[in-house]
Homo-oligomer: A and B are copies of this chain.
Amino acid sequence: MIEDKNQHRTPLSDLGEFGLIDHLTRNFKVKQPSTVKGIGDDAAVLNFKEHKIVVSTDLLVEGVHFDLSYMPLKHLGYKAVVVNLSDVYAMNAQATQVTVSIAVSNRFSLEALEALYAGIETAAKIYNVDVVGGDTTSSTTGLLISVTAIGQVDHDNEVYRNGAKPNNLLVVSGDLGGAYMGLQILEREKEVYKVNPNNQPDLDAYSYVIERQLKPEARQDIIRLLKDLDVRPTAMIDISDGLSSEILHICKQSQVGCDLYENKIPLDPQVIATCEEFDIDSTTVALNGGEDYELLFTISQEDYPKIKANPSLTVIGYIKEKGEGIHLVTRAETKIELKAQGWKNFNV
């Protein structure tokens, strides 16, 4: 064989499937007591004893969910894990394991996949989950990542979307719209780069919104906080498609209505400033932007004193009877019916 002189770009064909998986997962350590057997057999073996388990799965597709021209592969690996963990936390469960499968074309080098897996490993470490399986295969075009996340929940402690009751409070963690505005910044810089590749963008003013897009975090801390505060939400969902869409999910499945107060929606100052710069209404961004991975939940009014002082939690509305409908109460105190926007990938 002729020696590859470019040591920094190892073709994937040098490894084959087994070599590749072994290589990429060699640093992964098993930490969860529920992991009996991780990577290396036909299937992982897990033992949750008396706990119920939750399972969630997501696909991330290049050109649809991410753009590698501004998404570093390490960040992508991190984000792919985090967005799945977010679904586990949204069940009021603790995430314990993930499986990660990738389909990748020959244009990716081994070093590129190492960067991707470094991000996966970082997320697994920070969120204390084991990577227990996966599949690595070739694709005819781009990169695709499929993650399945597994978590455990004490019996009868899981929280569904369908338990919201009239007079419950609607609560959201963190702030909204950042991930969407980060995407707008990155898309704009991409266009600038096309025109002038030597331009050095100064993105300091957008650091928060860009991080919300490139390196989102799942709210494991909120699940712990709620447990510590002894607050069990009546319904919960994570915000992946936008506040509006998630409120509609809770209301539809719980068969309730809702009043959402525009002036209560938490927005970071950088989101407001960026919206002004782009001349976009910040409420529209918060309602429809998506990818914030905050938790949206409903609680009994009795629990309000337990959460009211917490800066990470904001009451943004009230659950109503189904017949009262689902509305945004604007700053001008008019009521507008909430409609789903969100996910429109098939129209792209």
Interface residues of A (CB under 8 A from B): 11-13, 15-18, 20, 36-37, 40-50, 52-59, 61-65, 87-88, 90-91, 93, 97, 99, 101-103, 106, 132-135, 137-142, 144, 146, 148-151, 153, 155, 158, 160-162, 236-238, 253, 340, 343-348
A65 touches B137 (CB 8 A): yes
User: Can you name the residue of chain B whose Cβ is closest to the Cβ of A236?
Assistant: B42
Contact B101 A57 (CB under 8 A): yes
CB pair A90–B43 under 8 Å, yes or no, is yes
- Give the one of A43, A54, A106 with max B CB within 10 A: A43
CA of A90 to CA of B37 in the docked complex: distance in angstroms? 14
Smallest CB gap from A63: residue in B: B140
Report whether A140 and B43 are in contact in the complex, using a CB–CB cutoff of 8 Å. no
Cross-chain contact of A16 among B20, B43, B87, B343 (Cβ < 8 A): B343
Known contacts: A42-B90, A45-B158, A48-B53. The answer to whether A64 contacts B144 by CB under 8 A is: no
**What is the total number of copies of this protein in its complex?**
2
Q: Quick one: closest B residue to A134, CB to CB?
A: B57
Q: Give which listed residue, B57, B142, B344, contacts A140 with CB less than 8 A.
A: B142
B40 touches A253 (CB 8 A): yes
* Residues A47 and B55 in contact in the complex (CB < 8 Å), given A141-B141, A237-B42: no
Q: Which of B57, B65, B142 contacts A146 (CB 8 A)?
A: B57
Interface pair A344/B16, CB less than 8 Å apart = yes
Chain B nearest CB, measured from A325 CB (Å): 19
A162 contacts across to B, CB distance below 8 A: 41
